[in-house]
Structure 1
Amino acid sequence: MKNRVLLINPPHTAIGSRIPREHLPPLGLLSIAGPMIDAGFQLDLLDAEFGPMNLFEVVKEARNRRPDWILIGHSGSSSVHATVMILCGMLKFTLPEVSIVYGGVHPSYHYDEILKETESIDVIVRGEGERTATQLLLALQCGGDLTEIKGIAFRQGAEVYASEPAEMIEKLDDYRVAWELIDHRRYSYWGGKRAVVAQFSRGCPHLCSYCGQRGFWSQWRHRDPVRFARELANLHREHGVELINFADELPTGSRKAWKAFLEALIAENVPLILVGSTRASDIVRDADILHLYKKAGVIRFLLGIESYSEATLKRIKKGGSISEDQQAIQLMRKHGIVSMATYVVGFEEETDLDYWRSLRHLLRYDPDQIQMLYVTPHRWTPYYPTVMQRTVIQTDTRKWDYKHQVLATQKVPAWRVFLWVKSIEVIMQLRPKAIFRNLFVRDSDVGYAMRWYTRIGRRVWFHEVFHFLFKGRRQKRGPSLEAFLGNSLEQREYSMQKRKHITIKTAS
């Protein structure tokens, strides 16, 4: 009986995947692997991020492992999609008898276009994959009726069939992560520390219009705090894991659940380092328990600052306030937690004055670290319809990784936007306060975090400047966003929202 499954984590071209020279395990693939192993399937993982492997090497290795099914997914989703399409074509040519299943955020929303574009992909899993992927393989194994499986799309003759969305997984603890599939010695972060990506919660209750994740997860849910803390502690005791990188959009979404997790992890008494992302409002809310954050091992949280303009924050439905953002940074510093402020340029048609105000805004905030990003629109978000007529200057979607400009700003040419962004980064990292904290901080863990990120940031900075000057190919008269990507898919934002199945005719 067929039961051999090969999971492939394709190589990613994003700067974040290449510059640190370290790799984190593919949590999404490991998450769907646990239930499939428990259902009796024999699983193998091919992580092509190591190297990274070129596509010919991936295909050769896949052929050597003799799978019955190949499942492909990547956390980079949209920016890795072009690579996935080429890889699937090569895999299907080499292994025509093997069914290829594709899942993740991007294919969940673009399933019909993908299935019409290529015959190399047999089935697309839409939404959360733990239950759906297992049900799919069980059906494929026994020749069952795929139309009875919720949350998938596939071809039926000349049509694309999309079943009704699968139900949201309410109890995340019902499914386990297959940590046994990886060699923990190969995965590291934070300067060689053995590391994993973990997820305490899924979703976010906030309404940021540009976010490509909120609707995918449907609503915010969390793991059992004590059980999750025990799992992380066991990763340290059994596999020597030192650092946990939270994949959550908002791990702190429930003060009660987050506090219970911190207390449970403290009780486990393991020297773990915790890094992740949260909202400034949650830091301010938890001012009285930030000592628990620190004691549990939280060393850095990323805060989405996004813009200096209250009007822009309101338009993109960010929520929160500028004063709250600044207060959160001060509170974190007081408790020995490094603050990384992400700042996004390009939400609107900005001017040189806007970039100057952005610099002043960041200097006033005084975060420990900053990460400058470029707005990157996704078709299924409410933000997309508001920018459909803007000009695309980067038509290589592999570079749509938030670190490359993709939309033109009419009042400021691309080279000057880039100059502003790089200048802001230099000024923020070389300002006297930042240098002093790097050199004379009393907390050794904070000092290590500051210096490690400074080293990585310096490498990324020079890498981006070199590629912009010598390898960046930008369109001077590019298409509109609508002409390049297509119409809005905003109606699909909530990928697990109930609706009847649909059939879409493919080109004959």
Structure 2
Amino acid sequence: MKILLCNPKNTQGTKHSRKGMYVPLGILSIATCLKKRFGDEVEITVVDEDVDDHFPQELGDYNLVGLYSTTFNYKQAARYAYFAKEQGCTTVLGGPHPSILYDNILRHKSCFDYVLRFETEFSFVALVEHLMEKSLANLLDIPGLAFKDADGKIHASKTIPELNLADLPIISRDFVRFDRYVENYRSVYSDSEDVVPGSVYSSKGCSWRDKTGGCVFCARLEEGVRFRPIPQIWEEIALLKDRYGVNTIWDIADDNLNNKEWFIEFVESRPDSCRDMRFFIYSRVNCIKPWVIDYFHKLGVDEVFLGVESGDNRLLKGSFKGQTRESALRALRILQDGGVRFYPSFVLGLPGENVESMENTLSMCREIREMGGLSRMSATILKPIPGSAAYDMVLEKTRFGKDLAISDDVDLVFLEKYWIESMTGTTYYAVEEYRDKINVLMGGLQVFGSSSKESS
């Protein structure tokens, strides 16, 4: 069986931070699992339009086309699926957007034969087994699967995938041109000619989201915090170093510092072969305590990304962020005093945003700029992405909610402006103005970022 897996390009004018600089781990994990299960029985092609702007025109030789969809690239995924169907391919859609809106998608689009929700590695393998007639199991026994039958009735499995991360193989990067991601990274970071970046995830999930429902803008979908085995993570990092020359790792996990014991064990388990590896990591500000600095230095952490979001305590409380302006500044000072660079991000347009709250955020950005230790900073505008509390607020509290509830194709450009008009005490023009003021404040520093967090 010939399988094409594609990450379509974004079509809504939004560039996610570090897009095209790191391989698509989700798609490559599926490809790796398929290859491990079927070996030479499958031929897999991966097209990542973050680096390759050439979706294949001749699809007649492919039996199956799998498309990864966020809300940002859904329109492009649907266009490719119609194109694939015209040439006789079976089509599968996965990713965060269909994980939430699968029912609307199957009602409105005839181009998708199957939709896979949430973490799809083993479900994708099970579906291919069915298509290759290697399994006689009922389709609805495949966790996360949804489809429409010949009579137009939508069926969806009652179970969702529950992955033990230890069961997943180390992700192969051999399906893509790794050097293209390195080239993209170096083209953006002008002082990075010696950097060879790679990415891994050491865990999935967010304890804050599990406990409280999460920040108002967060659209990550993983349930529970699950960690990969520490020896396997270091094995993967060593492989990236040996095969591709990687010397800097971006760990895309959100919540490692929340588990102090795990993080210490991870640092202390670092093999000698990886002693010179550098790291870029995420953290909540409340997890930055004095104890972490020594471990950051032991691990080789060059930069920490912190979601500060706002300099206004009223907005932080109303957005369920679980932190304050003061706790964020305290965390930044701990990093600065410890000699660790930081990258704070801000989201403008939180519920109840007004000129006073944006002035508070701008003044905080000025304070951070003068503090020292700042690597980069970004200010973006909240986008109510499906799966987020903000999206649910639009559904439940606005006149547009009824129309949005039955839609499969969400116009984020419109929705971003509609959110500001409906959920804040300011104008979209004013929010843009303050976003630009914060980004201009950075001077010669690089400014990146996306306005919302979506599962990868």
Question: Which shows bigger deviation, 183-192 or 194-203?
Answer: 183-192
Residue of structure 1 in register with 2:95 after alignment: 104
**Paired residues for 1:25-174 under 5 Å:** 25-40=23-38, 41-51=42-52, 53=53, 57-60=54-57, 62-63=59-60, 66-74=61-69, 77-93=70-86, 95-96=87-88, 98-142=89-133, 144=136, 145-156=138-149, 157-174=151-168
Using the alignment, how far apart are the partners of 2:19 and 2:144 within structure 1?
36
**Residues 173 and 223 in structure 1, CA contact (< 8 A), matched pair in contact too:** no
**Residues 390 and 407 in structure 1, CA contact (< 8 A), matched pair in contact too:** no
Matched, 1:337 2:340: yes
Using the alignment, how far apart are the partners of 2:324 and 2:66 within structure 1?
42
Of residues 434, 442, 445 in structure 2, which corresponds to 1:420? 434
Partner AA of 2:216 in structure 1: Y
Partner AA of 1:149 in structure 2: I
**Residues 242 and 271 in structure 1, CA contact (< 8 A), matched pair in contact too:** yes
Residue of structure 2 in register with 1:278 after alignment: 283
Residue of structure 1 in register with 2:246 after alignment: 241
Distance 1:343 1:334, change over 3 A: same
**Residues 118 and 144 in structure 2, CA contact (< 8 A), matched pair in contact too:** yes
Residue of structure 2 in register with 1:373 after alignment: 380
**Residues 374 and 405 in structure 1, CA contact (< 8 A), matched pair in contact too:** no
Partner AA of 1:377 in structure 2: P
String of CA shifts for 1:23-75, please: whole Å, max 9, x gaps: 32111101111211111133221222225x2xxx4141545xx221111115x
Identity across matched positions, percent: 20
Using the alignment, how far apart are the partners of 1:338 and 1:151 within structure 2?
40
String of CA shifts for 1:389-416, please: whole Å, max 9, x gaps: 5698xx99575599x7563346433222
Secondary structure, counterpart of 1:383 in structure 2: helix
Matched, 1:204 2:201: no
**Paired residues for 1:13-32 under 5 Å:** 13=11, 17=15, 22-32=20-30
Distance 1:400 1:174, change over 3 A: same
What is the count of residue pairs matched by the alignment?
418
- 1:267 shift after superposition: 3.4
Using the alignment, how far apart are the partners of 2:17 and 2:265 within structure 1?
36
String of CA shifts for 1:159-216, please: whole Å, max 9, x gaps: 11000123411343533312222232222235453323211000001032425444x2
Using the alignment, how far apart are the partners of 1:399 and 1:294 within structure 2?
40
Of residues 413, 420, 431 in structure 2, which corresponds to 1:408? 420
Distance 1:419 1:296, change over 3 A: same
Question: Which shows bigger deviation, 330-339 or 112-121?
Answer: 330-339
Distance 1:345 1:211, change over 3 A: closer
Secondary structure, counterpart of 1:317 in structure 2: coil
**Residues 184 and 194 in structure 1, CA contact (< 8 A), matched pair in contact too:** no
Using the alignment, how far apart are the partners of 2:394 and 2:196 within structure 1?
41
**Residues 233 and 270 in structure 1, CA contact (< 8 A), matched pair in contact too:** no
String of CA shifts for 1:65-109, please: whole Å, max 9, x gaps: x221111115xx11111221122112222x22x111111111011
Using the alignment, how far apart are the partners of 1:391 and 1:273 within structure 2?
49
Distance 1:251 1:16, change over 3 A: farther
Of residues 317, 321, 327 in structure 2, which corresponds to 1:324? 327
Matched, 1:184 2:178: yes
Matched, 1:221 2:212: no
What are structure 2's unaligned runs of at least 5 residues? 401-406, 450-454
Secondary structure, counterpart of 1:180 in structure 2: coil
Using the alignment, how far apart are the partners of 2:18 and 2:285 within structure 1?
27
Using the alignment, how far apart are the partners of 2:258 and 2:169 within structure 1?
21
**Residues 285 and 306 in structure 2, CA contact (< 8 A), matched pair in contact too:** yes
- 1:224 shift after superposition: 1.1
- 1:218 shift after superposition: 0.8
Distance 1:132 1:5, change over 3 A: same
Secondary structure, counterpart of 1:179 in structure 2: coil
**Residues 6 and 68 in structure 2, CA contact (< 8 A), matched pair in contact too:** yes
Using the alignment, how far apart are the partners of 2:12 and 2:282 within structure 1?
19
Using the alignment, how far apart are the partners of 1:72 and 1:22 within structure 2?
17
Distance 1:266 1:13, change over 3 A: farther
Of residues 383, 386, 396 in structure 1, which corresponds to 2:393? 386
Using the alignment, how far apart are the partners of 2:170 and 2:393 within structure 1?
40
Of residues 293, 298, 322 in structure 2, which corresponds to 1:295? 298
**Residues 266 and 296 in structure 1, CA contact (< 8 A), matched pair in contact too:** no
- 1:148 shift after superposition: 2.2
String of CA shifts for 1:428-467, please: whole Å, max 9, x gaps: x24xxxxxxxxxxxxxxxxxxxx7xx2x43xx79xxxxxx
Distance 1:70 1:257, change over 3 A: same
Using the alignment, how far apart are the partners of 1:14 and 1:172 within structure 2?
36
Using the alignment, how far apart are the partners of 1:350 and 1:413 within structure 2?
10
Using the alignment, how far apart are the partners of 2:296 and 2:228 within structure 1?
18
Partner AA of 1:341 in structure 2: P
Question: Which shows bigger deviation, 358-367 or 175-184?
Answer: 358-367
**Residues 154 and 161 in structure 1, CA contact (< 8 A), matched pair in contact too:** yes
**Residues 29 and 171 in structure 2, CA contact (< 8 A), matched pair in contact too:** yes
Matched, 1:10 2:22: no
Secondary structure, counterpart of 2:377 in structure 1: strand
What are structure 1's unaligned runs of at least 5 residues? 431-450, 462-494, 496-508
> What TM-score results when the alignment is normalised by the length of structure 1?
0.75
**Residues 108 and 127 in structure 1, CA contact (< 8 A), matched pair in contact too:** yes
Secondary structure, counterpart of 2:171 in structure 1: coil
Using the alignment, how far apart are the partners of 1:164 and 1:264 within structure 2?
40
**Residues 130 and 175 in structure 1, CA contact (< 8 A), matched pair in contact too:** no
Distance 1:342 1:13, change over 3 A: same
